[in-house]
Structure 1
Amino acid sequence: MAGDEVAKGDILVTLDARDLMARVQQAREALKAGEAQRDLARQELTRTEQLLERGVSTQQRFDQAVSNLRVAEAQVDRLKQDLNEAQTALSFTEILAPVAGRVVDRLAEPGDTATPGQSLLRLYDPLALRVEAPVRESLALNLKTGDVLRVEIPALQDTLSGQIDEIVPYAEPGARTLLVKVRLPSDTAALAGMFARIAVPAGERARLLVPADAVKGIGQLEFVTVASDGQIGQRMVTTGQLSDDGRREVLSGLKEGERVVR
């Protein structure tokens, strides 16, 4: 049932196995018959060999007995393979939990017909959450398994660190991206299916930053107050993004070393 806790190896789903059990039983009976036929052929070969040594039988009958035994042994080998296949098919009627976790959704009801590839339930493992994101190939090539990336989860208003578990070595045609899988910490409050972002290092560049409240605006125009040579004046600037520490990037209109006053 949805919400049930399961341990690794617990039986999650049992499929109707009556047909497969009958197939296993038939394979066992066929193998017994084949082994009996093989034993009989072996006895016949021994008896024919003894008669040939006493001059009572012919070489042709002996060769035929040898051939009959080989055919019987090959038949036994084939029947053993049939039994193994039937037992393997029967084992698939019990679906076991691959990990410990919680059943979060049941997608089939007793009596439904299961088909290959059909999902029967969803199992949630809180210790194995990870974020999967397509990353531009030029950036993904600079990453490696074990690297730590910053992960942002907007719904939780939280940013945490995750470790790269896997980088799928296949670029999506057209998009030219590689799938990067980042494992989340086991103590995260995130849930499966939540939206998340990963921050991928894109290199370093120098930026000119000023206190955000030093940038004033009139309509679409932005300016800062600059002190230079004992004089104070306003300077038109073009700004960029706000940094994590609350400072505003200045793209043009201001040079490094100039003094900005609030």
Structure 2
Amino acid sequence: MDGPGDERGYIHQVTTMFRSSAFRLLLIAALPTINSPSAALAAEDLETVVAEYQSTEQERVLDGLIEAVNQATVSAQVSARVTAIHFDVDDFVEQGSLIVQFDDTEYRARLQEARASREAVAAGLDAARSHFDRIENLHRRGTASQSDYDRARADLDTARAQLAAADAVIDRIEQQLEYTQVRAPYGGIVTERHIELGETANPGSPLMSGFSLERLRVVVKFPQRLISTVRQHQKARVLIPGSDDKSIDAEEITIFPYALEGSSTIPVRVLLPENIPDLFPGMLVKVAFSMGNRLRLAIPDHAIVYRSEVVGVYIVDNQGRLSFRHIRTGDTKPDGTVEVLAGLESGERVALNPELAAARLKQQKFPVEQ
């Protein structure tokens, strides 16, 4: 020691170290050990689930484009002028509804003329039949020659053929008259109108395009190296946009017999059930294809703690002691279970109520003496 000041500094340092050591001893004495009986009681009434390997379906999820099964362009089948258009783009049309009306004046006149002509032909047939009956009766009695009989028979056959031809003309004109009223082949939505009021259309001229929402399908470009697995299992589901757990099972899967040039993919068509709400042609959706089963370690999603970037679970060991464990998770399945990729072993017990488990873990570390 060089002087009184150095001595006082040394004494202050020793006193500070003594007080700090004494505080630590008191704190250690006050804290119970984790192995104490009261610590084990903290987890005794917690509901737990045993982590087990489960055989679950493995899926491959790909993007797909929705399209309508029934989509077409209605064309004109007569040459006539448009007199009425009853629907426009984005209108909903019931099956059988009149969508376009053509001027039918000419076809009605033709039909009237054809019916009048048929009446004349029918009258000629009646006359030919009466003449044949008379000649046949005379020929049977031997008073009419064979040539007269043959001629009467030929006239009757000709009259019958003329009547059949007249009927065919009427049927054709009636069909053309029906074509002047264009009706919707199925219920759906108009997507495009190709003709204007007053225009003259020819057979084959497009009138309206549309699609039906009753039956939809999804087209997916599937990697060709995995197509054999899809063909083997023939199972897929369409994930509902905006929903994490809802999906629609496919009714049928159609695999095209060719690959798309330059993409190494094969088109696969997934047919959906009828009348699916909130799905429309042109939408992009996710399609999960079954790729077979595999074993995975899974626990319920609600047993997992998600705090910022921390993902973990509360473990209860065989002595009833709680601990928090970080885990790495995989996919979430429709049944609400999550695959655990790392941090958990099969057979370990996981607390199902993370909030309650957190409170019990705090009680386990800092128990209140009774």
* Whole-angstrom CA distance in 2 between matches of 1:117 and 1:160: 44
Asked if 1:142 corresponds to 2:229, the answer is: no
The amino acid that maps onto 2:286 is R
RMSD: 3.9
* Whole-angstrom CA distance in 2 between matches of 1:184 and 1:242: 33
Asked if 1:171 corresponds to 2:262, the answer is: no
Q: Shift of residue 178 of structure 1? A: 4.4
The amino acid that maps onto 1:132 is V
Gap change, CA 1:157 and 1:108, over 3 Å in 2? farther
**8 A Cα contact 2:125 2:160, kept in partner:** yes
The amino acid that maps onto 2:295 is A
TM-score (norm 2): 0.48
**8 A Cα contact 1:137 1:171, kept in partner:** no
* Whole-angstrom CA distance in 2 between matches of 1:61 and 1:141: 78
Indicate the residue corresponding to 1:162 in structure 2. Answer: 248
* Whole-angstrom CA distance in 1 between matches of 2:129 and 2:190: 56
Q: Shift of residue 45 of structure 1? A: 0.7
**8 A Cα contact 2:237 2:250, kept in partner:** no
Which deviations, in whole Å up to 9, do the C-alpha atoms of 1:99-123 show, x marking residues without a partner? 5555454343223436537351425
Which deviations, in whole Å up to 9, do the C-alpha atoms of 1:39-79 show, x marking residues without a partner? 12112112323443565431210121012111221222233
Indicate the residue corresponding to 2:29 in structure 1. Answer: none
* Whole-angstrom CA distance in 2 between matches of 1:184 and 1:52: 71
Indicate the residue corresponding to 1:21 in structure 2. Answer: 108
Count of matched residue pairs: 223
**8 A Cα contact 2:229 2:291, kept in partner:** no
Asked if 1:93 corresponds to 2:180, the answer is: yes
**8 A Cα contact 2:330 2:339, kept in partner:** yes
Gap change, CA 1:68 and 1:14, over 3 Å in 2? same
Asked if 1:78 corresponds to 2:170, the answer is: no
* Whole-angstrom CA distance in 2 between matches of 1:74 and 1:255: 91
Gap change, CA 1:30 and 1:164, over 3 Å in 2? farther
Alignment of 1:214-229 (within 5 A): none
> Which has the larger share of helix?
2
**8 A Cα contact 2:298 2:338, kept in partner:** no
Pick aligned residue for 2:134 from 32, 44, 47: 47
Q: Which has the higher contact order (CA 8 A, sep 6+)?
A: 2
The amino acid that maps onto 1:139 is V
* Whole-angstrom CA distance in 1 between matches of 2:104 and 2:330: 63
Counting aligned pairs with the same residue, the percent is: 24
Asked if 1:116 corresponds to 2:204, the answer is: yes
* Whole-angstrom CA distance in 2 between matches of 1:107 and 1:28: 35
Pick aligned residue for 2:283 from 194, 200, 212: 194
Q: Shift of residue 131 of structure 1? A: 2.8
**8 A Cα contact 1:130 1:181, kept in partner:** yes
* Whole-angstrom CA distance in 2 between matches of 1:121 and 1:84: 29
**8 A Cα contact 2:240 2:248, kept in partner:** no
Unaligned runs of 5+ in 2: 1-87, 261-265, 312-327, 349-370
